[in-house]
Amino acid sequence: MRNCITLRCRLQGDNAATVDVKEDLLESKKRRDMIYGSDGAVSNIPKPEVSKPKTKKVRISNEVNIVQMEKTTFMEMSASARPVSDRENTVGEGLTRIAKYSFGSNEKFISLCKVRDNRFAVGTNSGYVVLLDSDGLPLIQFRPHKACVWDISFASQFDFASACEDGTSVIFNYYLAAQELTANSVASFQSDVFAVTYADCNDISSPVLSGGLSATICVLHSDRQNSSFIASGTSIQAMHATQHKKVIVGGGNGTCSLVDPDRCVIVDSTNLHTRKVPAVSCSGDVAVTGGFDRVLRLWDVRSGFKMVNERSIPEVVTAVAVSDKYAAACSGSDLLVWDLRKMTNPVATKHNAWKDLTRGLVIEGNLIVTASVDGITRFWKMS
């Protein structure tokens, strides 16, 4: 990417993970199995170790522009990226693609989350995290890992947590004045970490939950010194916080759990999904889950799991999102959107929206963002 800002950070310390990824691992059978449907949890793995790494700070060498953004500041690129060439059909039933972004020919987008209004973050297969605006323009990029970033979660525009193929879940902060990226805490799982979330995505001091193949949910408490562990009985595929500061967890055997991070207990669970659940989302009191059983389910999660609707879908569900108006799902190569008031049929559909599959999906108002394994992040507008 030309004229952009890159932060590179290697975690160093007695208990921190040191990553040395060979090029052929990026397309390894192991990763393909994990992306496309391997459900198995790794057994006999010890509990994750949580450590505070020796401070590693990385300065930004490029000149950046500081722009005002709603009484705060944000790092912008010093030059806009060139738009990628467009050979796709941009219009679907009720959907129009208004922008797209491609990081590089060999990069796959694996994860996606909302940073704040009109700001989104994508994680790649080789360890990059790139922040984008709603026009598909890159703002800043980091390389906090040298392996696949399975999941990311932002609590502010300067604080985020990652879940990585290198077996770590890391809490990062980037300091605007000094232009530095710092790793503040590391949980080492010794196997892939697929999911991470803040218990309150608007509070940087809230507990951070993470998990993956080890079938253990790690809860790093607000003091960032103490941690607790919850046995899940299955691999952790996805996580999303609710407005009541509980966390929904999608499991490798189809079990969905509702976790109380303060008490470190599972307060409710459901096994209505019969295969792994890699897709969970929540807005208000409504949650949505999607699984490899080709079913999308809506839940009232005020006091546990109370199913309010379900829809069968032709292909497996790899990503879901929900807002106060819409529920959306990525199923195979299709993007499907429903009105929450009437779930009988989708109100918008885009068939063959991408090549391969999509693991990242966010709804913000009438804007829908998808991040796909084909290496393109697409921005869609509801018609």
Collapsing DSSP to helix, strand or coil, 25 comes out as helix
How many whole angstroms separate alpha carbon 206 and alpha carbon 245?
A: 9
- Give residue for tokens 């985020």: 160
Which residue in 14, 16, 61, 6 sits closest to 183, CA to CA? 16
Q: What one-character DSSP code corresponds to residue 24?
A: G
Are residues 165 and 188 in contact, defined by beta-carbon separation less than 8 angstroms? no
DSSP state of 31: H
Beta bridge partners of 310: 297
SS3 sequence, 143-190? ECCCCCEEEEEEEECCEEEEEECCCEEEEEEEECCCCEEEEEEEEECC
The predicted pLDDT at position 87 comes to: 59
Are the CB atoms for 5 and 140 separated by under 8 Å? yes
Query: Residues near 203 by Cβ (< 8 Å), separated by ≥ 6?
Result: 155
Q: Write out the DSSP string of 184-217.
A: EEEEE-SS-EEEEEESSTT-TTS-EEEEETTSEE
What is the pLDDT, as a whole number, of residue 46?
Answer: 64
Q: How many CB atoms lie within 10 A of CB 51?
A: 17
DSSP assignments along 288-334, one per residue: EEE-TTSEEEEEE-SSS-EEEEEEE-SS-EEEEEE-SSEEEEEETTE
Answer yes or no: are the C-beta atoms of 130 and 103 closer than 8 Å.
Answer: yes
Alpha-carbon gap, residue 336 to 338, rounded angstroms: 7
Widest pairwise Cα distance in the chain: 55
Residues 155 and 146 sit within 8 Å (Cβ to Cβ): no
**Structural domains of the chain, ranges and CATH numbers in brackets:** 108-314 (2.130.10.10)
Cα angle 112, 305, 302 (rounded to 5 degrees) comes to 85
Q: What separation in angstroms does the CA of 241 have from each of 39, 205, 321?
A: 23, 14, 13
User: What span, in angstroms and rounded, lies between the C-alpha atoms of 20 and 145?
Assistant: 10
Question: Residue 341: CB partners within 8 Å, gap ≥ 6?
Answer: none
Of 132, 197, 140, give the one whose Cα is nearest residue 163. 197
> What pLDDT is recorded for position 260?
98
State the pLDDT at residue 177: 78
Structure token pair of residue 262: 């303060």
Structural contact between residues 328 and 304, judged by C-beta atoms closer than 8 angstroms = no
Per-residue pLDDT of the chain (383 residues; tens, 9 = 90+): 444 444 434 333 333 332 222 333 334 555 566 666 655 555 566 667 777 665 544 433 333 333 333 333 334 433 334 444 555 667 768 999 999 999 988 899 999 999 999 999 999 999 999 999 999 999 999 899 999 999 999 999 999 999 999 999 999 998 877 778 899 999 999 899 999 999 999 999 999 999 999 999 999 999 998 999 999 999 999 999 999 999 999 999 999 999 999 999 999 999 999 999 999 999 999 999 999 999 999 999 999 999 999 999 999 999 999 999 999 999 999 999 999 999 999 999 999 999 989 999 999 999 999 999 999 999 999 98
Cβ neighbours around 379 below 10 Å, total: 22
Rounded Cα gap, residues 170 and 147, in angstroms: 13
At residue 216, what is the residue type? T
Pairing of strands 6-8, 138-143: parallel
Q: Tell the residue number behind the tokens 């040191």, with chain if given.
A: 18
Q: In what order do the strands lie in the sheet with 295-300?
A: 279-283, 286-290, 295-300, 306-312
Helix (H) / strand (E) containing 34 = helix 29-36
Nearest partner of 350 among 84, 100, 153, judged by Cα: 100
Contact of 186 with 227, CB cutoff 8 Å: no
